[in-house]
Amino acid sequence: MRRQAELRTIRETPERTSVKSAPSGTRETLPATTFERNILSTLHDMERMMEETFHRPFFSMTPFRHLLHEFGSFGEVTPTIDVFEQGNEVVVKSEIPGIKREDVNLKVVDNNLIISGEKKTEEKVERKDYLRVERSHGTFNRTISLPEGCDFDHIKANYKDGVLEVRIPKVEGKGVEKQIKVE
């Protein structure tokens, strides 16, 4: 007797975890615990990091970044990012020197802050007289996964001296548990 392997698809919402089993196609809905949400969130983050890693050009990976200067124009603009909590805010700082304020774009999609833009070249220069080329230009796109409880309606962003600072207030009372009396 041969047993079929059961395929499971897990779909998460903030309150419930839905498990779809195949081949029968039945759906079982269970309350999602904080532990389950944390695991699913971690798995989602790991999947996103793997996707980002394998969809970037080979030479932009951190261990090979020093080779960019040796090969000249393979470089791409990749801003560095710090994310931390300060008081009742989440703060994102990104170094993007040489980029004009009007060339920086910010948007929030789901619980992700997307920083994108373009570092433009001001003049066309022949490379044959250069002994070394270390400046890069081009477009960039960074996606930062934000913690739960952010107030996206009151985000403030400031760009000064090549540093972008984004401040996102945290919503008070988010995730608070309350007992409800059944009558």
Q: Is 105 exposed, middle or buried (0-12, 13-18, 19+ CB in 10 A)?
A: exposed
**What pLDDT, in 10s, does the model give residues 60-94?**
444 554 444 334 334 456 788 999 999 999 999 99
Nearest to 58 by CA among 68, 45, 48: 68
Share of the chain above pLDDT 70, in %: 52
Q: How many domains does the chain have?
A: 2
Residues 81 and 155 in one domain: yes
**What pLDDT, in 10s, does the model give residues 17-64?**
444 444 544 444 455 566 667 787 788 788 877 776 665 555 444 455
pTM of the model: 0.52
Residue 118: its pLDDT value, please?
Answer: 86
Residues 28 and 106 in one domain: no
Please report, for residues 4, 35, 58, the alpha-carbon distance to residue 41 in angstroms, rounded to integers and kept in the order given.
Answer: 29, 10, 27
CA dihedral 64, 69, 74, 77 (to 10 degrees): 90
Q: What is the CATH number of the domain that holds 160?
A: 2.60.40.790
Structural contact between residues 129 and 69, judged by C-beta atoms closer than 8 angstroms: no
